């Protein structure tokens, strides 16, 4: 649900957005018009990318690409490279919009940065908590584990491989896609038998395949009862820009004291360029991955990616301020309307599917009559390597009612063929 008052998120006119971005770029270093010779960076190569094209004067994002600001480091921590201070401030504004106005944090209570995607942001969180347990509680590496549902994103296993941590998957109900208290208790017992003493919990704010949402409270209750210290991260790489608006009781934001960090992903529903994941964490956590060896970087570096394109942060900020919070709510409502309509049609046809009521993902049970439509409509299976059990439809901006109606028409034809 939308709030009445937003602290940082304002709807701006296109003229205001252009002015803000160009002013920020003016505050950055101009590689052509100065005497600096020690910065290991430059604008895009002018022999390939035309930096004097007249189109750039009315294109703030394209201009930011050409100007090529490097947003290395985490700019909410304090000192940062002064050469790109103008566009760094836009990134800070974006982090405040996401943490405070979307996810319910108190002002100035979170750090964050624009990562390369949800995968990096998830690994960043697990990296932080691994180091937290080792530094603050003297945990051994083999005593720390990742706990998440069997529907969680594959980045859990990337983090496991890179950080040398075991993953314990909590089994979900195949029909409801929900995690039960009993299943969590069983996983906790498995961890105990393996000698684990500290747990990094990753809960899902809409899984990639099903759009299912975890209840963080049952994880917290089970772990507290079992006496396991834990840190909890919410993976909102898919649902972070949708679920908080559609769900009146979102438990996966910073107003839940058990949630310490959140992943968002702007190159999905926000339609930003690829390479725009967002990592958000409560103040005091980024220090556990601060790289003291990055002495040539002003403010050091606490991010997994290091050097990052400032243009990506500008793109997300431009999109969110173009819509404003209420415009964004309306955009999401349009997706919900289309998804609701699709589900009504599927119900009338007697189709078997899963859909979280606050999600724009509809996942159909794999049936013979679906197979002719898979390639035609780009239905995505839960497994490319094995026999698929499910195929999903994702109602995005470009997935109009006309496209959905065409799919339903051909689905009905396949059903007729099957029943004759």
Q: Is the pLDDT of residue 50 over 90?
A: no
**Structural domain boundaries in the chain:** 82-323, 325-419
In this structure, of 26-35, 107-116, 370-379, the range with the lowest mean pLDDT score is 26-35
Q: What is the pLDDT of residue 48?
A: 93
Q: What is the pLDDT of residue 182?
A: 97
Q: What is the β-pairing status of strands 380-381 and 353-354?
A: unpaired
Q: Is the pLDDT of residue 161 over 80?
A: yes
Task: Let me know: does 137 contact 198? Beta carbons within 8 Å.
Answer: yes
What is the C-alpha to C-alpha distance for residues 240 and 242, in angstroms, rounded to an integer? Answer: 6
Query: Which of 125, 155, 333 has the alpha carbon at shortest distance from 233?
Result: 125
What is the C-alpha to C-alpha distance for residues 149 and 180, in angstroms, rounded to an integer? Answer: 10
Q: Is the pLDDT of residue 416 over 70?
A: yes
Q: What is the pLDDT of residue 320?
A: 98
Q: What is the pLDDT of residue 386?
A: 81
Q: Is the pLDDT of residue 181 over 70?
A: yes
Higher per-residue pLDDT: 331 or 4 = 331
Q: Is the pLDDT of residue 420 over 80?
A: no
Q: What's the token pair of residue 48?
A: 């390939």
Q: What's the token pair of residue 244?
A: 């908080």
Residues 245-279: tens digit of each pLDDT: 999 899 999 999 999 999 999 999 999 999 999 99
Looking at residues 195-213, what average pLDDT do you find?
A: 97
- Domain 82-323 classified CATH 3.40.50.1360? no
What is the pTM assigned to this prediction?
0.95
Q: What is the pLDDT of residue 391?
A: 97
Residues 105-120: tens digit of each pLDDT: 999 999 999 999 999 9
Sign for the pseudo-dihedral over CA of 49, 52, 54, 57: positive
Cα angle at 20 between 302 and 79, to 5 degrees? 25
- Domain 325-419 classified CATH 3.90.1150.10? yes
* E strand residue ranges, 71-225: 110-115, 144-149, 166-170, 198-204
Residues 294-320: tens digit of each pLDDT: 787 887 899 999 999 999 999 999 999
Q: Is the pLDDT of residue 1 over 70?
A: no
Q: Is the pLDDT of residue 131 over 70?
A: yes
Q: Is the pLDDT of residue 4 over 80?
A: no
Cβ count within 10 A of residue 306: 12
Query: What is the overall mean pLDDT for the chain?
Result: 95
Residues 391-403: tens digit of each pLDDT: 999 999 999 999 9
Strand partners, 262: 234, 280
What is the C-alpha to C-alpha distance for residues 190 and 195, in angstroms, rounded to an integer? Answer: 9
β-sheet with 361-365: strand ranges across: 353-354, 361-365, 390-394, 380-381
């Amino acid at each position: 649900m939308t709030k009445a008052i937003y602290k940082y998120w304002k709807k701006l006119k296109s003229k205001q957005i252009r002015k803000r971005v160009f002013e920020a770029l003016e505050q950055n270093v101009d590689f052509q018009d100065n005497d600096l010779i020690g910065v290991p960076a430059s604008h895009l190569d002018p022999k390939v990318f035309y930096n004097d094209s007249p189109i750039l004067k009315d294109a703030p994002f394209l201009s930011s690409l050409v100007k090529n600001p490097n947003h290395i480091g985490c700019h909410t921590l304090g000192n940062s490279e002064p050469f790109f201070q103008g566009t760094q401030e836009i990134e800070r504004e974006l982090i405040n919009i996401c943490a405070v106005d979307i996810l319910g944090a108190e002002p100035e209570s979170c750090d964050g940065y624009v990562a390369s995607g949800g995968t990096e942001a998830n690994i960043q969180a697990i990296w932080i908590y691994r180091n937290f347990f080792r530094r603050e509680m003297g945990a051994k590496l083999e005593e720390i584990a990742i706990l998440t549902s069997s529907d969680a994103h594959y980045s859990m296993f990337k983090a496991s491989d890179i950080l040398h941590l075991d993953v314990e998957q909590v089994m979900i109900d195949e029909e409801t896609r929900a995690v039960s208290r009993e299943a969590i208790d069983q996983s906790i017992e498995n961890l105990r038998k393996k000698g684990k003493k500290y747990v990094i919990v990753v809960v899902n704010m809409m899984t990639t395949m099903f759009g299912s949402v975890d209840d963080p409270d049952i994880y917290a209750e089970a772990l507290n009862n079992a006496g396991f210290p834990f840190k909890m991260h919410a993976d909102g790489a898919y649902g972070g820009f949708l679920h908080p608006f559609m769900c009146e009781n979102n438990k996966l934001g910073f107003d839940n004291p058990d949630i310490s960090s959140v992943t968002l992903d702007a190159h999905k529903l926000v339609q930003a360029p690829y390479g725009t994941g967002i990592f958000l964490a409560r103040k005091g956590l980024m220090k556990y991955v601060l790289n003291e060896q990055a002495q040539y970087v002003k403010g050091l570096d606490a991010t997994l990616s290091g050097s990052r394109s400032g243009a990506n942060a500008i793109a997300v900020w431009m999109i969110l301020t173009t819509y404003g919070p209420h415009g964004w709510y309306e955009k999401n409502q349009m997706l919900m309307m289309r998804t609701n309509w699709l589900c009504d049609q599927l119900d009338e046809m007697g189709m078997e599917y899963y859909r979280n009521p606050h999600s724009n993902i509809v996942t159909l049970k794999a049936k013979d009559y679906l197979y002719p439509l898979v390639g035609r409509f780009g239905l995505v299976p839960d497994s490319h390597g094995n026999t698929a059990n499910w195929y999903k439809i994702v109602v995005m901006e470009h997935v109009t009612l006309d496209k959905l109606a065409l799919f339903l028409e051909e689905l009905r034809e396949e059903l007729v063929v099957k029943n004759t």
